[in-house]
Amino acid sequence: MAFARVFIDGVDTDPNTAAIPVGDVGFVRGYGVFEVVKAVDGVCFRLPEHLDRLERSAAMLGIELPSRELLTRWAADAADGIPEAIVRMLVSAGDDPWEGPCRVIVTGEPASPQMASLRLLPVNAPWHSDGAEWELLRGKTLSYANNFAAIRQARMAGFDDAVLIGRSGRVLEGPTFTVGWVVDEDGRDIYETPAMTTGILDSITRTAVL
């Protein structure tokens, strides 16, 4: 993936050469967490809520984050000068899965234009919680291979993206988006989404819209 700006542990780095050690456990084991935030004119959408979730995810993996002040500054720096930016915050456990320190990559890139509609392929996602409780539930980790394989499967079949179906047969969420729908209730539009008890990601957009 190509980025316009890259900050590695806060250091402004040339995006063409920005690199991490091959032994980083975010790479070797997908052991890390992340957030993606949209920024318009340098202002990130609900950044505190995204950082709250990043902190919860990091705590699940025992990763100690830099201060909120630093993360906030790096996010602003990554969005700087890009009118509509996607800011990614990728935090791996670093070179040692248990000892730290973590490694923080904050990137900025121009947002892609949103599509007016999407054709979605339903994909079975038995790896999804779909109601089962466990310690990492709703952690947003770097281990997204299953989600990305679902997108690939959808594209191969001529669709734009996938929508994940749980073991129960319920619609859960997209591989990288949340799902909602509008019900007409006596002429009023009621917005609905899958319940949080399905184990879907605690989407900031979902909470903002509900």
Backbone torsion region of residue 30, taken as left when φ is above 0, otherwise alpha when ψ lies between -120 and 50, otherwise beta: left
| Rounded Cα distance, 175 and 140, in Å | 12
Residue 69 or 134: which CB sits closer to a second copy?
Answer: 134
Residue 11 or 183: which CB sits closer to a second copy?
Answer: 11
CB of 114 to a second copy, least distance (A): 20
| Rounded Cα distance, 23 and 188, in Å | 55
CB of 39 to a second copy, least distance (A): 18
Binding site for a second copy (CB under 8 A): 1-3, 6, 8, 18-32, 34, 60-62, 88, 90, 92, 95-98, 105, 107, 124-129, 132-136, 139, 141-149, 152-153, 155-156, 167
Sheet containing 103-110, strands listed edge to edge, beginning at the edge strand earlier in sequence: 11-13, 5-8, 103-110, 84-92, 32-40, 43-44
What tokens does 112 get? 């892609």
Residue 19 or 116: which CB sits closer to a second copy?
Answer: 19
What tokens does 162 get? 């996938």
Residue 119 or 152: which CB sits closer to a second copy?
Answer: 152
| Rounded Cα distance, 140 and 142, in Å | 7
Residue 21 or 48: which CB sits closer to a second copy?
Answer: 21
CB of 63 to a second copy, least distance (A): 10
CB of 198 to a second copy, least distance (A): 12
35's enclosing H/E stretch is strand 32-40
CB of 188 to a second copy, least distance (A): 38
| Rounded Cα distance, 67 and 170, in Å | 38
Q: Is 53 helix (H, G, I), strand (E, B) or coil?
A: helix
CB of 180 to a second copy, least distance (A): 24
Residue 176 or 180: which CB sits closer to a second copy?
Answer: 176
